[in-house]
Structure 1
Amino acid sequence: MKTIYFFPLLAFSGAVSAHAESADDLAAEGRENIVVTASRATTEPREIGSAVSVVTQEQLASGQVTFVKDVLQDVPGVLVSTDRPGNYASVSIRGSNNDEVLWLVDGIELGDPSSTSTQFQSDHLIAADIARIEVLRGNQSSLYGSDAIGGVINIITQRATEEGVKVNAEAQAGSHGTLNGGASILGKTGPLDFRLTATGYRHDGPSLADPRTATAPVTEDDEYWRYGFSGRAGLEASPNLSFQLNGFWLDSFSDLDNTTSDTLNTVKKREYAFAGQGFYRSDDDKLNVKLTGSRYVARRLYFGTSNRPEGDLYKGTKDSLSLDVSYDTGGLASIAAGGNLEREKTDQETYYSGDFLEKINTRSVYGEIALRPAEGLTLTGAARIDDNSRFGTFDTYRGTIAYAAGPFKFRASYGTGAKSPGLYQLFDPTYGNPDLKAETSRGGDIGVDVALADTLSIQASYFFLRKKNEIVFDGSRPPYGGYDQWGRTRASGVELGLTAEPLPWLKLNQSFTYTDHETDDDLDGTYVDSGRPKYTASSAITVLPVEQAELTLRARFRDKDLSGYGGATSAYAVVDLLGSYRISENVEIFGRVVNLFDKWYQVSYGTAALGRSAYGGVRVSF
């Protein structure tokens, strides 16, 4: 039985060591509930003391998800700044900023060093080749270093596990001139397996600038397109040794607008990433070793009246080489350790603030231990040291506790985090400040997971986050303003989730987040409300009127947002209707109406959301 939207709970979900395995790999080994992100020392699902949400390939397909950022709207603790396809997307976890969330794809660390601060923009990331998404919430710098103050989003792509060749294809069309499609070919023969995926998307508008809040007439539709390829290949050289190559490449084009007006500005972006990995696993499965080398490159060209004729160039490159080793005795203790070499490089050629070419290197080592002093009780501790070539050394640590008894798991975590300043913040000729240091944070959570057979799952968490030495833009720095370091933030809140299947033909999903986010920009001890949305929620009711059909009514709620540039948005609720019908084992048709009641709303101030829109398509496999 298929269900529409994932519910952010895999009760007692655990972790394997550092392998970036696919969901198919896990299923083939009978470990469907394993979570590969949360720890590098534990192997049992009931031992994880972190809050983790998992989205499966089936749930992405059933939810008709095109862009990854869309499904993140239904994850507790996650706030996404847009629901427009291709629009600039900021993803926040538990009150973090976008640059404090680390993204991984098959073990590749994504992050653009040419951004203001090294970060990954998920605007163009689609779901067509994804087998599994894991969202790990809370400070994770002790395992993942800088950029993981808010958490980690780990994407695992599809992989062939059965002999032979399989082809999956999908095509859809709809409102605003939307065309979307893709195809994957997966194959396996003996020790070799491969996958190659091609995708494309485009729409003709409407304008990003909302006419209802614009200060001048809005006359231009804003076009967007993207196309790309991704793939992976694996070789099982022996029962103990395997190798893997994976990567992706994409091109995109976006029209740009100001907050309250049309512009003629555009941006072309090219991204690509690749990695080579080697895995060793001992005969008794206790010792695991992984070696990974990866590169991520993002190249942005901005065109407009104030840019160079050939476009203002921002090109960032992130290289990483890491070694991860874990040993699980299966008894009282298991341990993990590793190291990482990372280089970030940016090449900037602009009229906007000047040209520069800079790089920065970071060397890191970490260790983690998991202890099992009593039945059902697991304690983990991790520590990390990062040595940065520009501003020195910083350390982070983290501890968790998990106690599992029957259908209940009680968990808690506490840790520290750090965020390195970006190369733009350090070295931009106009706005940079080379004296910046790493931001620091501390945070934790306490919660419970409940799983009653296949009929009811509940997750509840209380969390808090504190940040200091935040890098902020100071307009008073001569001559035109620049970056300084004196911000402080505190956030706390509650995450709730429930999924229930009271009847064989009925499924209910509910998620809810409350976040209290405050800042102290003057360091006078007075915190003020930042204006971010306090409440977000997602509800879905799925029915199966007949075996081959599925209907879902979904509602998403978001509180008012006072923190955006230029103005405030109002609270809103948007209802979508989704349906699918399986004609045969290999053919399925689907369709959806987004914003069913044609609600006017803005996710971020000044940006037009889509009105009532309809889409339909077909999936085939053979």
Structure 2
Amino acid sequence: MFKHLFISTAALALLPAAAQADGFQIGDESVVVSATRLATPVTDVGSSITVITAQDIVARQQQSLSDVLRDVPGLSLVQSGGAGALTSIFLRGTNSNHTKVLLDGIDIGDPSNPTGAADISKLLAGDIARVEVLRGPQSGLYGSDAIGGVISDTFNQTASLAGSDGGFHYVATVQHQHVGATPVTPPSLLQAGETRNDDYYDNVTGGTKLGYDVSNALHLGLVAHVNTSLGKITNDAFDLTTFTSYPASMRSRIATLQYDGRASANLTLGAVTQSLGLAYSSSAISDADPDNGYSLVAGNRIKLDWQGHAEIMDGQTLLLGAETARDTIHKPISFGITTNAGYVELNSDFGDGLNNSASLRYDDNSRYGDRLTWHVAPSWVIGQTRLKASAGSGFKAPSLQQLFGPFGHNPMLRPETSTGYDAGIEQGFLDGVASAGVTWFHNDPRNLINYDASFTPVNVDRARTQGVESFVVFKPMEALSLRADYTYTDAVNAATHAALLRRPRHKASLDAAWQATDALLLDASLLYVGPRSDVGRESFLPEKLPGYMTVNLAATWDVTPDFALYGRVENLFDGHYQDPDGFQRPSIGAWAGVKASL
């Protein structure tokens, strides 16, 4: 019997059938952008990168960006409840605020967040055309936040409400998601005689892209996204001997409003291509709690950026960039900081399959001063074998709340820093029918911010994260694709050697996608997450969470070219697990919906 039902509708949006992306494959002619900020053949990139296409998302019928990222090698996701609940990303064992998240090139890290991290829990998957997950320190191109890596999400450019008229191009999507009857509190935490309250979540997301070709050399563009959500979150139980001032059932209705946009101009004159952009992002979260009052947290970022590149000699492309950004928090305090930055990158094609990318970036912040970071990533293809490696430095600026309050704060905080390396080999078999690869990685985060006995944030901690990422891909026929991934992560405090919280040592996934007929697409996936350390939701004492396994099934049936039915069964074997401690993940569930073109 299904425990809960998901209902989703997508108006004005029908996902395109893009090519299946299985990650790196010898002979792959696809390109990626995030690794070098330029369109680069994936086999020329030395950094570790996972590419997820719209076709992958359609096959699995994933509803949110959180769903899309769960199986990515080297990435652990922790969601405090069901759909829309706070989601933390741990990339290669680094902290949850050590991953930069871009939406159509817009940095969506939240200046009002206590740690400055991006919360991806409200991002729906229906308008995603492509996700690139770039692993390893990337501050040499992207500045603060990119210690663990970069996640770049590209908005759909071929939705059903799309067209052109002369030089004008447009695309628009609207999505709605409603999730009901989602209990969160584990039965073991309920007070005597108390029953669990079901939470709910509602999300409406819209997006648009506009473009105008002024001439063959000049293109103007505008991209915008808006998201509003409402959720009821009921903390059914707390230890009332510890929290004597709290009611047994704390009822909150949390509303969020997020919007961002970027206007751009792209100009090509001869061998030189330039782009100028102005981006703005804003986030507001309100919490209406009938027992404890109303609260509001709000912040925004505005950024002006310029980038230009040219092939300065055969096989050598030089990229230059500069940007200035202002981060501001408005509620519950009012402060802001400004960062100016410049970067340079040289992409080299030496021939015979040997490529390299090297970058250097300088950031100057109005509060914590300057920071110089670097990155280098060679790649060498020899027949069906590819050798790759990367090394670089990263940093994470202290958040506005860590610097200025309203609670424990320290205006003298310095950025967290890190140096990381990786090296790997990938091998193709049977003329591209199969491929396999393994990559070793190591990171040394330093000056990590933690709280002392007076609840003041200070730069005190060091960590070490290292491990192995591996994959096998097999495509015995054009209609069938099989993939297996395994990641081993050893993430510890460098001083005490204690395991870092919420990072599983073992993670594995399997996926099978089958285009059964021209109209019917089927998918089955399995995810295993091993035991991990945590802190008790009520006891605040160290806990060891057991591992868990989930199996999901999905199907899409194109009834007509303009009308499709889809469905998904999640957690097929009804596994019960908590992640993090005290927050029960959804049990077996099903959802179904329709997509229609107008």
- Report the TM-score when normalising by structure 2: 0.89
Which residue pairs with 1:380 in the alignment? 357
Query: For the residues of structure 2 that align with 1:460 and 1:304, how far apart are their CA atoms?
Result: 49
Deviation, 1:57, is 1.2
Which residue pairs with 1:92 in the alignment? 90
C-alpha change, 1:10 and 1:86, in structure 2 (3 Å) is farther
Contact preservation (8 Å) 1:538, 1:555: yes
**Which residue, out of 43, 46, 58, partners 2:43?**
46
Contact preservation (8 Å) 1:210, 1:218: no
Deviation, 1:472, is 0.8
The reply on whether 1:294 has 2:265 as its aligned counterpart is no
The reply on whether 1:56 has 2:53 as its aligned counterpart is yes
Query: For 1:204, what is the secondary structure of its paired residue?
Result: strand
Deviation, 1:595, is 1.4
**Which residue, out of 408, 426, 433, partners 2:410?**
433
C-alpha change, 1:317 and 1:610, in structure 2 (3 Å) is same
C-alpha change, 1:577 and 1:429, in structure 2 (3 Å) is closer
**Which residue, out of 249, 253, 256, partners 1:266?**
253
The reply on whether 1:534 has 2:549 as its aligned counterpart is no
Query: For the residues of structure 2 that align with 1:605 and 1:11, how far apart are their CA atoms?
Result: 42
Mapping of 1:311-460 within 5 angstroms? 311-329=294-312, 331-349=314-332, 356-452=333-429, 453-460=431-438
Deviation, 1:226, is 1.3
Query: For the residues of structure 2 that align with 1:124 and 1:136, how far apart are their CA atoms?
Result: 21
Deviation, 1:338, is 1.0
Contact preservation (8 Å) 1:314, 1:347: yes
The reply on whether 1:614 has 2:590 as its aligned counterpart is yes
**Which residue, out of 139, 162, 186, partners 2:162?**
186
Contact preservation (8 Å) 2:185, 2:235: yes
Deviation, 1:330, is 6.0
Query: For the residues of structure 1 that align with 2:384 and 2:299, how far apart are their CA atoms?
Result: 47
Contact preservation (8 Å) 2:101, 2:108: yes
Contact preservation (8 Å) 2:443, 2:466: yes
**Which residue, out of 222, 242, 251, partners 2:199?**
222
Deviation, 1:241, is 1.1
Which residue pairs with 2:106 in the alignment? 108
Query: For 2:394, what is the secondary structure of its paired residue?
Result: strand
Q: Deviations over 1:397-453 (max 9, x none)?
A: 111111112222211000011110001001104301111011110001111233455
Query: For the residues of structure 1 that align with 2:180 and 2:220, how far apart are their CA atoms?
Result: 42
C-alpha change, 1:484 and 1:235, in structure 2 (3 Å) is same
C-alpha change, 1:191 and 1:458, in structure 2 (3 Å) is farther
Residue identity in the other structure for 1:244: G
Contact preservation (8 Å) 2:534, 2:580: no
Which residue pairs with 1:473 in the alignment? 451
Query: For the residues of structure 2 that align with 1:41 and 1:56, how far apart are their CA atoms?
Result: 18
Q: Quote the sequence identity (%).
A: 27
Query: For the residues of structure 2 that align with 1:332 and 1:187, how far apart are their CA atoms?
Result: 37
Which residue pairs with 1:282 in the alignment? 269
Which residue pairs with 1:70 in the alignment? 67
Query: For the residues of structure 2 that align with 1:306 and 1:115, how far apart are their CA atoms?
Result: 23
Q: Deviations over 1:547-570 (max 9, x none)?
A: 433332211101112224434321
Which residue pairs with 2:440 in the alignment? 462
C-alpha change, 1:214 and 1:411, in structure 2 (3 Å) is farther
Deviation, 1:305, is 5.4
Query: For 1:528, what is the secondary structure of its paired residue?
Result: coil
Query: For the residues of structure 1 that align with 2:301 and 2:545, how far apart are their CA atoms?
Result: 36
C-alpha change, 1:602 and 1:7, in structure 2 (3 Å) is farther
Contact preservation (8 Å) 1:135, 1:154: yes
Name structure 1 gaps, 5 residues minimum: 14-31, 161-165, 168-184, 350-355
Mapping of 1:14-53 within 5 angstroms? 33-40=30-37, 43-53=40-50
Query: For the residues of structure 2 that align with 1:106 and 1:505, how far apart are their CA atoms?
Result: 31
C-alpha change, 1:214 and 1:97, in structure 2 (3 Å) is farther
C-alpha change, 1:44 and 1:149, in structure 2 (3 Å) is same
Query: For the residues of structure 2 that align with 1:56 and 1:266, how far apart are their CA atoms?
Result: 34
Contact preservation (8 Å) 1:537, 1:556: yes
435-444 or 250-259, larger mean C-alpha shift: 250-259
Contact preservation (8 Å) 1:260, 1:606: no
Contact preservation (8 Å) 2:212, 2:219: yes
C-alpha change, 1:505 and 1:385, in structure 2 (3 Å) is closer
Contact preservation (8 Å) 2:91, 2:135: yes
Contact preservation (8 Å) 2:170, 2:208: yes
Residue identity in the other structure for 1:467: P
Deviation, 1:373, is 4.0
Query: For the residues of structure 1 that align with 2:424 and 2:311, how far apart are their CA atoms?
Result: 26
Which residue pairs with 1:9 in the alignment? 24
C-alpha change, 1:544 and 1:258, in structure 2 (3 Å) is same
134-143 or 378-387, larger mean C-alpha shift: 378-387
Q: Deviations over 1:108-137 (max 9, x none)?
A: 111111111222100110111111111111
**Which residue, out of 556, 565, 569, partners 2:545?**
569
Query: For 2:66, what is the secondary structure of its paired residue?
Result: helix
Query: For 1:193, what is the secondary structure of its paired residue?
Result: strand
Q: Deviations over 1:246-276 (max 9, x none)?
A: 1111111122344954421232111000110
Which residue pairs with 2:125 in the alignment? 127
Deviation, 1:600, is 1.3
Contact preservation (8 Å) 2:33, 2:39: no
Query: For 2:121, what is the secondary structure of its paired residue?
Result: coil
Query: For 1:264, what is the secondary structure of its paired residue?
Result: strand
Query: For 2:144, what is the secondary structure of its paired residue?
Result: coil
C-alpha change, 1:237 and 1:580, in structure 2 (3 Å) is same
Query: For 1:511, what is the secondary structure of its paired residue?
Result: strand
Query: For 1:70, what is the secondary structure of its paired residue?
Result: helix
Which residue pairs with 2:144 in the alignment? 146
447-456 or 586-595, larger mean C-alpha shift: 447-456
Residue identity in the other structure for 2:418: S
Residue identity in the other structure for 1:385: Y
Query: For the residues of structure 1 that align with 2:492 and 2:253, how far apart are their CA atoms?
Result: 34
Residue identity in the other structure for 1:528: A
Which residue pairs with 1:195 in the alignment? 171
Deviation, 1:526, is 3.5
Query: For 1:425, what is the secondary structure of its paired residue?
Result: helix
Larger strand proportion of the pair: 2
384-393 or 399-408, larger mean C-alpha shift: 399-408
Contact preservation (8 Å) 2:413, 2:459: yes
Residue identity in the other structure for 2:255: K
Q: Deviations over 1:319-373 (max 9, x none)?
A: 1111111112462422111111011000123xxxxxx210000111111112344
Query: For 1:142, what is the secondary structure of its paired residue?
Result: helix
Residue identity in the other structure for 2:140: S
Deviation, 1:151, is 0.7
**Which residue, out of 78, 82, 101, partners 1:81?**
78
The reply on whether 1:502 has 2:479 as its aligned counterpart is no
Query: For the residues of structure 1 that align with 2:561 and 2:275, how far apart are their CA atoms?
Result: 38
User: How many residues in Structure 1 have an aligned counterpart in Structure 2?
Assistant: 564
377-386 or 548-557, larger mean C-alpha shift: 548-557
Deviation, 1:454, is 4.7
